[in-house]
Every structure is written in C-alpha cells, then in structure tokens.
Amino acid sequence: MKHSWLRTPLVLLAILAVVALVYAQSNARGTWTAEVRSEDSGTLNLQMQRAMKHSNMGNNFKVADLRGLDAAALKGSNVPVKFEVARDAGTITFTGTFNEGLGHGEFQFTANPEYLSGMKAMGYTDVDEKAFELTAIDVSRTFAKEIRDLGYKTDLKELIEARIFNVGREQVEGLKAVGLTNLPIKTLVEYQIFHVTPDYIRQMRASFPNIEMDQLVAMRIHKATPEFAQEMAKLGYSNLSADQLINFRIHGVTPEFIREVGELGLKNLSADQLVEFRIFGVGRDQIDDLAKEGYTNLPPQTLVSFKIHGVDSHFIEKVKRAGFKHPSPDKLIDFKILGIRHRDEDGDDDAI
C-alpha cells in the first residue's frame, strides 16, 4: 500500500502533464499579419506566429473563405475585424485591425475533438501535435480517406505534403490515363511540384517517342521544352536526345551562345563540344586573350585543353621570358604540366 500511495501522485502528475501538452497543442494562440496579394485582390496572405513557438506558418486564403471578414474592411482605414478559418481539423479565430490592405492582430486556435479521434482511428497517432498545421492547410478526414482509398497508407508528414501539393484522385486518375500506375506518394508530390501533368506527358511523348519518365521530369525541371528543341534544330542541331537537351539547359548552351561562338569562327561544333565550352568557359574573352600572343584559329579541343590546364596570355609571357618565342600549343600544355625549362643561347634547355 505504501508503494501504491507513493506512485499515485507521480502517475497523476504524468497524466496531468500529458493532458496539458495535448491541450496546449490543440488550443493555441498567437499573432498574425496579413496582406492582400497585389496580383489577386480576392486572396489574402496570412502569416501566423504561435505563442511560445519559433516557427512561422503562412498560407494564402480566399477572402470569401474567411468567415466573418468583410472584403470592404481590407481597404479601410484602421478597421477592426473578427473572422474565422473553420476547417474539419479545427477553427482559428482572428481578431485585429486592417489598414489599407495590411492587417495584424491575435488569433486563437481550437482543435476539433471529433477530428482528432477520427484521424487516430485511421492510424494517425501524432495528430494532436499537428492539429494547428492540419487546420491551416485543411487536411480533412475526407481528404485523408481519399488518399487511403487510392491505396496509400501514408504517415502524417506524407499526408500533409500530399495536401499542400494537391495530390488526389484527379491527379492519380489522370496519370493512369497515360499509363502511369502505382506511383509512390513522393513521386506524385514531385510531379505536382514540377507540373508534370498528363497533358505535359502526352506533349513530350509526341515530341520524344522513347522518352523515359526520369528524363521527362528532368526536362520539365530544366525547361528543355519541345520549343527549345526546335530552336536548336534551326541552328543545325536537330534530333538532339533528351539527355543532350537537358545538358544544354543545365550548362547554359543557348541559341545566343551558339551564335556567339559561331561569330568567333567556331562553327559546326558537336553538342558535346558546346557543353565542354560552357563547362570550361571557352568563349570570346579567352580567344581575345590568346590572340594577343599570336595564337589564333586554334581548334576547339585545344581551347578546352588550354582552359583545363590554365594556359593563358600570362603563362605564355612567362614561357617567352624563359627563351621560347612561339612554342606550339602542345608544347605550351607540356610546359604547364611538366614545368618550364630555360633555353640558353646554345639552344639547350635547363630546368628553372
């Protein structure tokens, strides 16, 4: 009995601590600021800073979805306001002031107990501590069930990401129509981030019949579009592969760059040579620098080799001071790699 009596206060304290923690997470308050988006006067960007937290949460809301907010108040002068974001996960109540499109004030958040218990029943055990975020992002039980019905057993982090990027039945069914099924949830999120839509997939497959999905996504990321491929074709680079177009975009091989090197007398370069030029910085500055020392009309690979080994006008002047008037490009590279040997009056080379 003595031991039981000793444990009882500890157990009660532990229970009270857990209850207090859940209450703090399910019922929070903080401050907010808001600004009417200049490109869309019907949308409000709300930034919320929770008390005792060091993180800021922001989201865009349609003014029409903010219960109790009069759109006219947004443009007024120091107009007091009270409005709500009411979601399945909970309710955020805002009080404060708007002054000519800018607002600020305090908010109070209350979680929906039925939502918390319903989500826990679906296996989301950590829902209490994320209740505020789930409300702000609008992760409803209906959405969670939709994702589950599509065959995805996600954790809460994955479910939140899916909601942020609008993963759902419409996307899954659209991708299924172009032959893509059983994709991981992270792939669906990636496709939404980079706007890899069914229409885009059809367009790319029409232009690149044998394209793989990884290449298609990379082309989307780097903007290697069919229009870009057509520009390259006009400059003599037709039938470039997906990987070559991606490399052009990554390294900055643009139509302007191709025209620039053509004006320098470097025409009919291969796709790989153009990429090498960009990687190593071959261009007008290098060619003008070498021309000062009498090195002109050098082949593309020599220009690349000079860049790789650091052969420029300063190095060539050093070679000249060592007694070599106009060594060949290959000799200059050897000097750079092996070191310069001084040439005396008899024509013999001495190491320096």
Predicted structure pTM score: 0.77
In sequence order, which residues have a C-beta less than 8 Å from that of residue 187 and are 6 or more positions away?
Answer: none
Say if 187 falls within a structural domain: yes
**How many independent structural domains does the chain possess?**
3
Q: Is 112 in the same domain as 30?
A: yes
Q: Is 50 in the same domain as 104?
A: yes
Say if 309 falls within a structural domain: yes
The tokens of 129 are what? 């501590």
Domain extent at residue 103: 23-137
Strand order, beta sheet including 27-36: 56-62, 43-50, 27-36, 102-111, 90-99, 79-86
Q: Is 75 in the same domain as 94?
A: yes
- pLDDT, one tens digit for every residue, the chain (352 residues): 343 333 444 333 333 333 333 344 556 889 999 998 877 778 999 999 987 766 688 889 999 999 999 999 998 999 999 999 999 999 999 999 999 999 999 999 999 999 999 999 999 999 999 999 999 999 999 999 999 999 999 999 999 999 999 999 999 999 999 999 999 999 999 999 999 999 999 999 999 998 999 999 999 999 999 999 999 999 999 989 999 999 999 999 999 999 999 999 998 999 999 999 999 999 999 999 999 999 999 999 999 999 999 999 999 999 999 999 999 999 999 999 998 866 555 554 444 3
